[in-house]
Amino acid sequence: IQIQIQVHVRASAQQQQLTTDQFDRTHQRFLKLVKEIPGLRRVAARKLQELTEELANGIEEASVNIASDPFEKIKNRFLTFKQQHFLKKPDHFAKLATSQSPKFMVIACSDSRVCPSNILGFQPGEAFVIRTIANLVPPWKENGFPATSAALEFAVLSLQVEHILVIGHSRCGGIRALMSMSDDGTISSDFIESWMTIGKPARLRTKSFAAHQHFDQQCSQCEK
């Protein structure tokens, strides 16, 4: 993906320069013709007005297409990041390309509404982030697949982060799934409930001291 984006951006820049050169040559030729043949002014004015309206309509259509195409949005955001950040700090990003030394490890929920970088303002190189459903960290299991544990080990032993920050949030779908689990062990999903069993102790404690509260309040208590 990185190579494709770089190639696309490079090709776009070359095409943009070519288009600019063509525009400048055409513009100079147009001014020369109008100056040499005064009778062309009225015709040229009418043509320019028609062309301007056509271009304006084209811009509106292009804006609609970009707004409705999620991949165009992503591409434009990447180009904006490159122009406003990457190209303005070449030394900083060159250093990041060779190493990282974040002060924080962040364990956050996968929920799309609570991105740590946006909420806490982390910049590239400042935080090593792992995101899981309900920001849970599973206990060590000998024959398991320790993705979260591996990330923790790398952050602590290799990157030597100074702080580990766990971020929870309200109205968490994972916690709601945990609190909705059947007491008889019935499973209604392939993976979610299996993952959420990690939080079973929290569920039992919440059910115990918040039994008199309605379900939404129980979920809120469990999130804490």
Closest CA to 137 of 99, 160, 173, 168: 168
- Between vectors from CA 113 to CA 180 and to CA 9, what angle results, nearest 5°? 140
Question: Is the distance from CB of 158 to CB of 177 less than 8 angstroms?
Answer: no
Check whether 85 is labelled as a binding-site residue: no
- The first and second tokens of residue 35, run together, are 């100056």
- Burial level of 93, CB count in 10 A (0-12/13-18/19+)? middle
Query: Burial code of 161-171, b = ≥16 C-beta within 10 A, e = fewer?
Result: beeeeeebeee
Check whether 27 is labelled as a binding-site residue: no
Question: Is the distance from CB of 179 to CB of 222 less than 8 angstroms?
Answer: yes
Check whether 109 is labelled as a binding-site residue: yes
From edge to edge, which strands make up the β-sheet containing 127-132? 127-132, 104-109, 163-167
Check whether 172 is labelled as a binding-site residue: yes
Closest CA to 105 of 55, 151, 71, 57: 151
The helix (H) or strand (E) run that includes residue 104 is: strand 104-109
Binding-site residues from annotation: 109, 111, 169, 172
Binding-site residues from annotation for Zn(2+): 109, 111, 169, 172
